[in-house]
Amino acid sequence: MKKIFTILGVVAVAAFANAQIVINEVYGGGGNSGATYTNDFIELINKGVASVTLTGATLQYASASGTFNQYHTLPAITLAPGQTYLIQEGAGTGGTTALNADFVAPIPTNFGSGTNSAPGFAMQASNVKVALVSNGVQVSTPTDSNVLDFVGTGSANQWEGTAAATGMTNSNSVNRTNGVDTNNNVVDFTAGAPTPQNSNAGTLAVSDFNKTKSNFVKNTFVKNDEITFGADAKDVKVYTLTGQLVKTASVKANGTLNVAELAEGNYIVTGTVNNQAVSQKILKN
């Protein structure tokens, strides 16, 4: 069978509109009584198979039954497969733990009249609507052409799919289940303790493979359940193409990683070689 070797490159987000960088977690109880974290937050994730740059995008916020009347612009960001990006939103007077966020949201801009004085969205603790949008045009429905992703929680009057995600609490966020996006909020999100992850300290920080001179994965076609590595690699992680982490390890040069328990198919292998983050796509057969 033909040997497969794929380098993950950077592609424009327009090529994966509504598909690749999505909202991974929403938390509106930050700073409230019983909260661990001092701030609300929104976390993005790249659930695709290639690095993507998001430029000119905005996050837009609305109450459960309100219109999207607030937004802030995101900086240009590049996320590798599985990588997260943490955005710090509004603060409260409670909570004990500050966020180590990739981006601290500025004072929101209003689409209509009114002014804001505090940085970030002051989100409701349970029932909200949040949209990741490709530009600064005000959103009105989840199916607007500029909507990259949309999450409604609790009693929100708009959502993706058949129903809103479960409501949040001061101690619970809603988090994307296994990184999967079926465009159905009630299925895609699960309530649980907040798990903010930023891309600097998070699971992935993957550069193009050709930026290293070492041979990361020697056998990108895996036939006998063993991945063989050509260099010492730390923090090795194996992901499905939907972004689910299925294996972790650290290996030595010419060492192997047994993946007998994984189903046949394509996976993304990431790791750190010579202090550089690298990735390769493999096919297990």
Q: DSSP class of residue 260? A: T
CATH topology of domain 209-284: Immunoglobulin-like (2.60.40)
Residues of CATH 2.60.40.1260 domain(s) within the chain? Answer: 10-192
CATH class of 10-192: mainly beta
Residues of CATH 2.60.40.3080 domain(s) within the chain? Answer: 209-284
pTM metric for this prediction: 0.68
Whole-number pLDDT of residue 241: 65
HEC letters along 203-221: CCCCCCHHHCCCCCECCCE
Alpha-carbon separation of residue 139 from 18, 59, 249 (angstroms) = 14, 10, 43
Name the 3-class secondary structure at 236: strand
CA distance 204 to 200: 8
CA distance 44 to 86: 7
Task: Render each residue's pLDDT in the chain as its tens digit; 285 residues.
Answer: 333 333 333 333 333 333 489 999 999 999 999 999 999 999 999 888 788 889 999 999 999 999 999 999 999 888 888 888 999 999 999 999 999 898 999 999 999 888 899 999 999 999 999 999 999 999 999 999 999 999 999 999 999 999 999 999 999 999 998 777 899 999 999 999 999 988 764 443 333 333 333 578 888 899 889 999 988 888 888 877 656 678 888 899 899 999 999 988 888 888 778 777 677 788 888
The vertex-151 CA angle with 242 and 23, nearest 5°, equals 45
Containing 189, the helix (H) or strand (E) segment is: strand 189-192
Of 11, 24, 4, which is closest to residue 197 (Cα–Cα)? Answer: 24
